[in-house]
Structure 1
């Protein structure tokens, strides 16, 4: 497989986010061309070498073995609302055209009042019939989670679910026993579901959130969905339209669980590696499922190369280290 792809020629890109997400202010990564198409390698800074290997497997999947055939031509998507002030939250959801919002909460100590104001602003902007979910990204302990979920559910006028309230599966299970809001997990999916974990997973969660990059591609994520035995939805890290296409491919092959996929990430970027006409931005709250990702625009890639050589060198080193795990 390595002989089919010129990894050394993979362009590095850096695109500023419109708003910080969990302290991240820029989407960085590489786009990699395979014999059949392009993929994106953009693991977060916290990812280690083995996890980077999963991201690389996902990046080259479509360009080598391809994606499974979809069962849906388009999927409903949720707009992600970062930890922003209420005015900005209103603007993000109003401009998205989406009927579901995934609101980041719990990003800083003592932020519950701010989180409540953000959720109230999202409800005000979306109207009473829209759907709101919250993502705590594992930032709460059990007691904090129980109190926060109760308050945020009230502020939302009813939450669809809360995602990853705590870091560990056992803590999430403890929270689920004490709240009425459905609970979703993503970290357990990213770490893989082993046979012995299935009962623990069912004790902890009502919904599984799958992310293509950390799971190692669409096909591997699909196997996790079949193994976990929970209703599944799809989400993505901040990625360009090339990377988001993988999440859409996964959403397109999964049974319709009734949950919108958090794949409106192109709205979080100040630019993209593709031309405006090929950007994956929602229309009427949906995105199309395609057999291939959009190809990057060569001129834009030149403009998006990080200005500092150390950043380019760091990404080339990460890519080289990840190839060990292919």
Structure 2
């Protein structure tokens, strides 16, 4: 059951979190938070997403705020550092924000940058983390098949843990996986899961060695767990640049998984100058327990009036879509 719109609006708070580094083309991350019987939840589909896609994120938030969640199997979640597409000289500064993290996810294929920029950034991460550190790269589907193959070869010297969403389509991922299989570098799928009408297609096609799953885009923790079970592949739980409230939902998902073989992408609160609660990594992990926003932080980080109204109207439209289904 979907709660009444008035129940969502009565506690709704819209925040804008300033970032330490421009990421995904934004300098501040906006999100709408509300409280239900089970606690606080987050509704934060990226602004470019249409209402049909955004409604799934609202369903996830409602589920987290109104319904009991699966029982946790662990109380701490190991997380990776996230390195935006910064100049190589800034890598040590970025990594310093992720206390104790043994794994780094490095953004590559940034529009306007070159493979040489990616190589320099990954090399800087390897030098900073040493031989024991784990490095994964994420292209967000921005390479074509030949570019991806060339990039994997060029980055292989840095002992990659895996390459995340190197190409956009499932067919390209399957082709690339065949081409580079002899190198022993796994392929991970993210957008091919969370933005697909059929999130299991990538697993059926043998197009990935592991899946990156995110609670909000997949409609909530329970639905994400169902996808993981059906796919039968190892998974990494990640965030969609969530606030601490969304990260706690991701941590709830990670805590409920029977197996958790990879460090999770849930340390991204470290990319904000300030968050609504403290979910920054400590000793390479975050707490899996639920968090509530700090009242003073909600006030300090409140979005401008026009942005607040934009998000409230989006909430109304997406709620209307959910009540029609």
If the length of structure 2 is used for normalisation, what is the TM-score?
0.93
1:177 CA drift (Å): 1.1
1:188 CA drift (Å): 2.2
Task: Give the match's secondary structure for 2:96.
Answer: helix
Distance in 2 between residues matched to 1:40 and 1:195, nearest whole Å? 25
Pairwise mapping of residues 127-206 of structure 1 onto structure 2 (< 5 A)? Answer: 127-154=130-157, 156=158, 158-179=159-180, 180=183, 181-190=185-194, 191-193=196-198, 198-200=203-205, 203-206=206-209
- What residue is the counterpart of 2:299 in the other structure? 302
1:260 CA drift (Å): 0.6
1:214 aligned to which of 212, 217, 224: 217
Task: Give the match's secondary structure for 1:66.
Answer: coil
Per-residue CA shift, 1:49-99, capped at 9, x if unaligned? 122111111112222112100111112111111000112112222331200
Pairwise mapping of residues 1-326 of structure 1 onto structure 2 (< 5 A)? Answer: 1-3=2-4, 5-96=7-98, 97-154=100-157, 156=158, 158-179=159-180, 180=183, 181-190=185-194, 191-193=196-198, 198-200=203-205, 203-274=206-277, 279-290=278-289, 293-307=290-304, 309-326=305-322
1:109 CA drift (Å): 4.4
Distance in 2 between residues matched to 1:10 and 1:257, nearest whole Å? 33
Distance in 1 between residues matched to 2:151 and 2:112, nearest whole Å? 12
1:21 CA drift (Å): 1.5
1:6 CA drift (Å): 3.4
Which one is further off, 106-115 or 70-79? 106-115
Distance in 2 between residues matched to 1:238 and 1:298, nearest whole Å? 21
Which one is further off, 83-92 or 139-148? 83-92
Task: Give the match's secondary structure for 2:217.
Answer: helix
1:246 CA drift (Å): 0.7
Per-residue CA shift, 1:170-197, capped at 9, x if unaligned? 1111111111210000112212546666
Q: Contact between 1:22 and 1:107, CA under 8 Å: does it hold in 2? A: no
- Structure 1 residues 9 and 130 mapped into 2: Cα distance closer, same or farther (>3 Å)? same
In structure 1, list runs of 5 or more residues that go unmatched. Answer: none
Distance in 1 between residues matched to 2:271 and 2:93, nearest whole Å? 12
1:32 CA drift (Å): 0.8
Distance in 2 between residues matched to 1:75 and 1:193, nearest whole Å? 28
Distance in 1 between residues matched to 2:291 and 2:90, nearest whole Å? 30
Moved over 6 A (4+): none
Per-residue CA shift, 1:128-148, capped at 9, x if unaligned? 101000000001000000001
Distance in 2 between residues matched to 1:74 and 1:306, nearest whole Å? 31
Q: Contact between 1:61 and 1:217, CA under 8 Å: does it hold in 2? A: yes
Task: Give the match's secondary structure for 1:177.
Answer: helix
What is the number of equivalent residue pairs in this alignment?
315
- Structure 1 residues 230 and 62 mapped into 2: Cα distance closer, same or farther (>3 Å)? same
Q: Contact between 1:38 and 1:60, CA under 8 Å: does it hold in 2? A: no
Q: Contact between 2:97 and 2:270, CA under 8 Å: does it hold in 1? A: no
In structure 2, list runs of 5 or more residues that go unmatched. Answer: none
